[in-house]
Structure 1
Amino acid sequence: MVTAAIVPTMTVTVFLTTPARADGDPAFGGHLSEQSAHISASRAEELGRANLSVTPEQRLFEYERAPFCREAAGMWVMGMEDGSCATGADLARASVQCEEGDTLVMPMWRRERATAASPWGEWTDIDAGGCGVDLLPVLTAEDFRRLPLPAPPLTLQPDRGWVLVNIETIVYTDPAPVTLRTELLGYGVTVEATPRSWTYDFGDGHTLRTTSPGRPHPQHDVFHEYEHPGTTAITSTAEWTGRYQVDGSAVWRDVDGTATTTATTTPFTVEERTSRLVGDLCTDRPTPPDC
């Protein structure tokens, strides 16, 4: 198992119904102040987590997930942190359908104050909630490619430092998945990577792309016949797909993209041999002169 750290970039679109002042939370460009601001559930979660780095006494913002509740007068208000509503208020039904094994996430509410000595303002909802997986960081293709994926070992047959012209040179590799651990935005992440195809460069101008990892002789199905003597090496480029699971979630998600690794054999010679009749065994000692 390999561990790596990733700090991904994130693009966030923020919708504001009224202009924000420039003297508040830099994530919004200012205070909310009785305006309605809605962002993605994952962005709201990120802001809430970042806010915990400020001591409670010095915080100008507070975040809390709670349901929408409707009072008898028809007003929508913030419910309790445990998911219930105050006496006389009805709980709004969630229309979100989550994947099996996932959990429903309540809306995020936020309140603010101008200074640490000022009273807190009213709670305002800033996201509509969703599924637990929506709050988790996404492992991008760029993140996947930065992981230390081990190149599948490349085996050559025959492996004796030389091969023969016009005779099959066999190659095969290990298709086993690998499991790695990394971190995204403070979350532990398990990544499972699987090689799905291989491209072989045989060093003589010929290449081969295959989804077979190959097999050793005599069941071999990936091979090449060299046409001319010389010195060369074989390079295999493996293409990997991946899926990942964020700690605390039962959901596995596919990586939207692939990664590649390469492995190269030790240089070897391609030789041309001719046969002829000899009077004695060439294994004799001393070696017969006609061998």
Structure 2
Amino acid sequence: MTAPTPPSPDAGFQAGSAFVGATWEFDPSTGKSTRRTGSTDAAEDPNQYMADVHCRAGGTDTPDRGCLTLQCPPKTAGGQEGTPVIWRQAPKAITNPQWSDYPPVSGPTCLYGSEPQNVLTDIAARILTDFHQLPVNPGTLEAQPFPNTLKGGPTNFYTTTTAQTFDTTILGQAVHLTATPTTHTYTFGDGQTLGPTPATGYPTPANTWLTTETRTSHTYTATGNYPTTLTTTYTGTYSVNNGPPLPINGTLTLTTTPKTIHVWKTETALVADTCEQNPHSWGCPGTNTPTKH
């Protein structure tokens, strides 16, 4: 016995009329579903519908490219033109359905008398959530000198954070996102912070580390080991299908892994030999010189 042929995605649909389920009828020209006459077995339509209009915005994943050229003239003189759409359907049992949950159930048709659901609006509603899930690199916090610095002298801090771009797919659309660092908060580990500030700091020559004070340097007043971090706030923009960049209404905040800096004190003494002449002389590397706290 030959197996029955499965229905096509748009089974029961005829352009300009309704596609029909066992109990409910959905009219693609109005975007509304109604109970079939005499049906009593379902309190509400178990499906939710989406009018896919993005084919007119340059999308490539519509089931029929005819949506790009379909004309929807007014039904009456002076009336409003219709909107070319492809209807998609998902069960209401799926909460917050994603694009893949909406298979097409019609070919291109004209929607009249109702505003279609716009995929761009859907993307705007969820873009901040997607922004927070991007693998944005928080950058690094650098210190000069490091890992050891001196009590009472300026320690130069700076960051390597940069703007980052990402290409992803949201609700079937190509989305380009940019995360741009805008403010930084330096936490020095001794209870002192700097920021939020737009200053990223900059590296200085090695021979000026302990004499040059920059906008982002810090002076430790006590010896010890201090965990330092950098917290950066990113703003974002996104564009859909190569459209204009749009601002993301919200920010992303990231903090670097703590980096420990050791603060030492200095002592001076008169010695007879250099370390070259006497490697065991006071203050030479490897000797038990009391230079640390």
In 1: Cα distance, 2:136 partner to 2:217 partner:
25
**Counterpart selection for 1:278 from 260, 271, 280:** 271
TM-score normalized by the length of structure 1: 0.59
Determine whether 1:148 maps to 2:135.
Answer: yes
Q: Superposition RMSD on alpha carbons, in Å?
A: 4.1
Preserved CA contact (<8 Å) 1:109 1:126:
no
Q: 1:165 to 1:109 in 2, by over 3 A?
A: closer
* Amino acid in the other structure paired with 2:79: W
Identity %: 26
Partner of residue 98, structure 1: none
Preserved CA contact (<8 Å) 2:234 2:251:
yes
Q: 1:269 to 1:110 in 2, by over 3 A?
A: closer
Partner of residue 255, structure 1: 248
**Deviant stretches of 4+, over 6 Å:** 46-49
Which moves more between the two structures, 275-284 or 199-208?
275-284
* Amino acid in the other structure paired with 1:45: D
* Amino acid in the other structure paired with 1:69: P
In structure 1, runs of 5+ residues without a counterpart are 1-21, 34-42, 54-61, 80-106, 112-121
- 1:26-64: CA deviation from partner (whole Å, max 9, x where unpaired): x9773399xxxxxxxxx6327999xx78xxxxxxxx9x9
In 2: Cα distance, 1:150 partner to 1:163 partner:
27
Preserved CA contact (<8 Å) 1:110 1:125:
no
Partner of residue 69, structure 1: 74
Please show how residues 186-205 of structure 1 align to structure 2 within 5 Å: 186-205=172-191
Preserved CA contact (<8 Å) 1:108 1:128:
no
Q: 1:173 to 1:32 in 2, by over 3 A?
A: farther
- 1:183-238: CA deviation from partner (whole Å, max 9, x where unpaired): 21011211111111111111111111121111112584211111111111210011
Partner of residue 238, structure 1: 232
In 2: Cα distance, 1:68 partner to 1:257 partner:
41
Partner of residue 33, structure 2: 30
Partner of residue 163, structure 2: 177
- 1:101-145: CA deviation from partner (whole Å, max 9, x where unpaired): xxxxxx34689xxxxxxxxxx965154579x99567225222211
- 1:42-96: CA deviation from partner (whole Å, max 9, x where unpaired): x6327999xx78xxxxxxxx9x96445365xx363757xxxxxxxxxxxxxxxxx
